[in-house]
Amino acid sequence: MRFFAFVSTFIFALPVFSMDYPDTRQEDTSNTYHDVTVADPYQWLEDWSSAEVKSWSTAQNSVARGHLDALPYRDAIGKRVEAVMGGDTVSYYSVQRVGDSAWFMKYAPPKQQPFLVQIDADGNPDSEKVVYDPVTADESGSTSIEWFRVSPDGKLIAIALTVAGAEIADLHIFDLASGERVDEILPRVNGPTAGGEMSWDADSSGFYYTRYPRDGEKSAEDQNFYQQLWHRELGTPLSEDKYEIGSLFDRIAEIRIFQHAASGKALVHMQYGDSGRFQLHLRETNGSWHKLSDYADELVQAMFIDEDTLLVLSRKEAPRGQFMRMDISQLPETSMTLMIAESDQAIASDFYGDPTFIVHAGKIYTKTLLGGPEDLRVYDLKGSPQTAPEVGVSGIGQIVPWDDGVLVRHYSYLAPNSWLQFDGSHTSKHPLSSTSPVQFNGYQAKRQFASSRDGTQVPVSIIMAEDTQLDGSNPLLLTGYGGYGVSLSPGFNPVRMAWLEQGGIIAVANLRGGGEFGEDWHREGMLTKKQNVFDDFHGVMHFLVEQKYTSVEKLAIEGGSNGGLLMGAMITQHPQDFRATISHVGVYDSLRSELSPNGAFNIPEFGTVEDLAQFKALHAYSPYHQAKEAIYPSILFMTGENDGRVDPMHSRKMTAVLQNNNRSDNPVILRTSGNTGHGSGTPLSETISQQVDRLVFLFDALEMEYRPVSN
């Protein structure tokens, strides 16, 4: 198939360079890879300890603020965003149930941070009480909860707390009756690299926890690596905590743990970096550990059916996934039999979030993927399909054992997030479903397919008013991700209304590199095939213009993290084919990314410069290195000073090279937040500020007029 091309008929302004950017010096710096010398004139911007770099960043923030604060409609847009985000919005999420009580994270503006509450399992509002409010502990709003775990007896709660979005969290144990902290504070159980986890013992007397190296155990460069699993008995000195497993794991090991309450057996999932390749390890009650699988076995995740049997998700010769039954009664010997064969729907897996399948009350509940939308399937323990809840075109979040059925987090594009309670035959909405100050009546979400460069059909979801005229005049904001096997499923965001009600359209592309169609879809967008992701996104851009949902002059794109890399690739590969981009916490220097701690964990996904073929692929698309003199569209980079996942140096270097090479008067600005990281833990006030900045930027770049609406 011939690769499509589309060129803007929009005439960019002549290069008058009206933006007064800070002076950014260039150095004669280069790096050599496989006899290839690569210039890196802004490498000095990597050093955040440098006073010069901090001064440069402050100056860039001043330029960004000067531009964004002066844009038209700022006051009106600001009031609308505050009304939408700070109005009648209440959301309960991340639930855990013990007995007749449940614990939820609660998001309730104008609170700066979500907080932890306890409530009767039936959702009786009169029973709700606050367990831990980070803002009470820290009035600045910078402290946030990474995760929590309630003890099996319902008397204690473990809370991982972090500051300023850094994701480096210490574990605190609280008595639920008194609210007082008990036991020692466990340092650095969670990090931005391998994350973190803990699991209570059945009698609530102790727990397993993930542990990063402490001072003196590893070099400073290795403090964010070599995660291990330890066990602690409450009330004892930290020095008496017992090492369990991990010393022989890889440097970039990532650990999760599950226990079988009745037997005390423990199951560890260990992922090799962010590769989607796993080892499974099991601890018997006598303390002995057994390796159940290695990377080549392609066993992804597992759950206990009973103390002698595991339900295992396998991708061995089944890229969409199949369930196996593993007999662990005769360790170290194991055996497996097929339980649920691969189907047309991919079985979801999520190492970092809540389990995507559970075994409860004699049934298996599993989330499946439909190319973006998700479904919930139910089986008995023989693998036979059972009645499942009707969820429609939706996203499926947490699946929680609930009486004889499950409680399921349900998402859609057009309705607030809800909790669905399923008892095996009947589905009802739980009282703690979310509320929203805006209703999306009169809007629709439709599904289309675009052709990529090689003919691959790429799904795209399009959200717009039902009476939208497809004449090419509509402002359209397109987003995508395409990496790590992550699927972009339907989800609700009330702030979208501030865009849609102004005649805007939103589009979400499901690109290769994600997991929407299983592991094959992921592998076609990783390592040396990463360019497929960029071609897919460009194909969606072309489709949206060709079908007159929008025009090049009215097209904006947005992405973050790996999606920020996607934005960087579009900026450097197709700058003429869209009008504006907003890129959050992105990866732009693909050659030096692996030198940061989290960058090392990303090598299995992106590749390494140490491998010749992978270096050639990385160099060919690395946005920072491919930024040549060109007429660039309007660009807003956004990053957080405390980002431990994607070093903010990427945004600094990319801003510098584009400001130098831009041959239009369109702005290239960098907004760095001083009290945030990669996104989690961002205070409400800063979130609102970011939303206002991105909207006024888009309105200006796409030459939109703000139409007053009723708040």
528 torsion bin: left (phi>0), alpha (psi -120 to 50), beta (else) = alpha
Q: How many CA atoms lie within 13 A of 454 on its CB side?
A: 11
Q: Among 8-12, 336-340, 414-418, 645-649, which range has the highest average pLDDT?
A: 336-340
Please give the average per-residue pLDDT across 210-230, as a whole number.
90
Dihedral over alpha carbons 447, 453, 454, 456 (to 10 degrees): -10
The pLDDT of residue 18 = 62
Q: How far apart are CA 238 and CA 402, in angstroms?
A: 35
Identify the band that residue 682 occupies on the pLDDT scale cut at 50, 70 and 90: confident
pLDDT of residue 393 exceeding 70: yes
Residue type, 345: Q
- Could you report the per-residue pLDDT of 584-607, keeping only the tens digit for each? 999 999 999 999 888 899 999 999
- Could you report the per-residue pLDDT of 130-149, keeping only the tens digit for each? 999 999 988 787 899 999 99
Please give the average per-residue pLDDT across 160-172, as a whole number.
89
Q: How far apart are CA 80 and CA 86, in angstroms?
A: 10
pLDDT of residue 581 exceeding 70: yes
Q: How far apart are CA 403 and CA 123, in angstroms?
A: 14
Q: How far apart are CA 26 and CA 41, in angstroms?
A: 5
- Contact assessment for residue 157 and residue 151, using Cβ atoms and an 8 Å cutoff: yes
pLDDT of residue 608 exceeding 90: yes
- Could you report the per-residue pLDDT of 174-187, keeping only the tens digit for each? 999 999 999 999 99
pLDDT of residue 634 exceeding 70: yes
pLDDT of residue 8 exceeding 70: no
Please give the average per-residue pLDDT across 75-104, as a whole number.
92
pLDDT of residue 120 exceeding 70: yes
Roughly how many angstroms between the first and final C-alpha of the chain, as a whole number? Answer: 50
pLDDT of residue 270 exceeding 70: yes
Percent of the chain topping pLDDT 90: 84
Which residue do the tokens 């066990």 mark? Answer: 231
| Mean of pLDDT over the chain | 93
pLDDT of residue 150 exceeding 50: yes
pLDDT of residue 621 exceeding 70: yes
Please give the average per-residue pLDDT across 97-106, as a whole number.
97
- pTM for this prediction: 0.92
- Could you report the per-residue pLDDT of 30-53, keeping only the tens digit for each? 999 999 999 999 999 999 999 999
Percent of the chain topping pLDDT 70: 97
Please give the average per-residue pLDDT across 371-387, as a whole number.
95
The pLDDT of residue 451 = 98
- Could you report the per-residue pLDDT of 477-514, keeping only the tens digit for each? 999 999 999 999 999 999 999 999 999 999 999 999 99
Q: Which comes out higher in pLDDT, residue 148 or 3? A: 148
Identify the band that residue 16 occupies on the pLDDT scale cut at 50, 70 and 90: very low
Identify the band that residue 711 occupies on the pLDDT scale cut at 50, 70 and 90: low
CA distances from 571 to 3, 83, 542, 591, 650 (A): 18, 33, 15, 18, 15
Identify the band that residue 3 occupies on the pLDDT scale cut at 50, 70 and 90: very low
Which residue do the tokens 């890196």 mark? Answer: 40
Q: How far apart are CA 599 and CA 112, in angstroms?
A: 30
Which residue do the tokens 């992921």 mark? Answer: 522
- Could you report the per-residue pLDDT of 185-202, keeping only the tens digit for each? 999 999 888 899 999 999
Residue type, 417: N
The pLDDT of residue 465 = 98
The pLDDT of residue 12 = 35
* Of the candidates 151, 160, 231, the residue with the CA atom closest to the CA atom of residue 196: 160
pLDDT of residue 253 exceeding 80: yes
Please give the average per-residue pLDDT across 315-319, as a whole number.
96
The pLDDT of residue 5 = 35
- Could you report the per-residue pLDDT of 504-547, keeping only the tens digit for each? 999 999 999 999 999 999 999 999 999 999 999 999 999 999 99
pLDDT of residue 2 exceeding 60: no
